[in-house]
Structure 1
Amino acid sequence: MGNISSPNYPGNYDNNLVVTWLIVTGPGTKIELTFQDVSTECGYDNVQIMDGPSSSDPVIGTLCTLPGVNSLTSTSNALFINFTSDSSVSGRGFILTYMEIAA
Structure 2
Amino acid sequence: VLVATETHQRLFSHARHGDNNYNNKMECEWVIMASHGNHVKFNFDTFEIEDESDCGYDNVEVFDGKLDTDPGLGRFCGSKIPAEIVSSGQSLLVRFKSDDTINWKGFSATYEQVSLQSQGSGVIKPLPMT
Query: Under a length normalisation based on structure 1, what TM-score does the superposition of the two structures give?
Result: 0.92
Q: Distance in 1 between matches of 2:29 and 2:59?
A: 12
Between 58-67 and 87-96, report the one with greater CA deviation.
58-67
Matches within 5 A, 1:1-103: 1-7=8-14, 8-10=16-18, 11-42=20-51, 43=55, 44-64=57-77, 65-67=79-81, 70-103=83-116
1:54 counterpart letter in structure 2: L
Distance (whole Å) between structure 2 residues aligned to residue 66 and residue 27 of structure 1 = 32
Q: Which runs of 4+ in 1 moved over 3 A?
A: none
| CA RMSD across the alignment | 1.2
AA of the residue aligned to 1:13: Y
Question: Which runs of 5 or more residues in structure 2 are unaligned?
Answer: 1-7, 117-130
Larger radius of gyration: 2
State the identity as a percent.
27
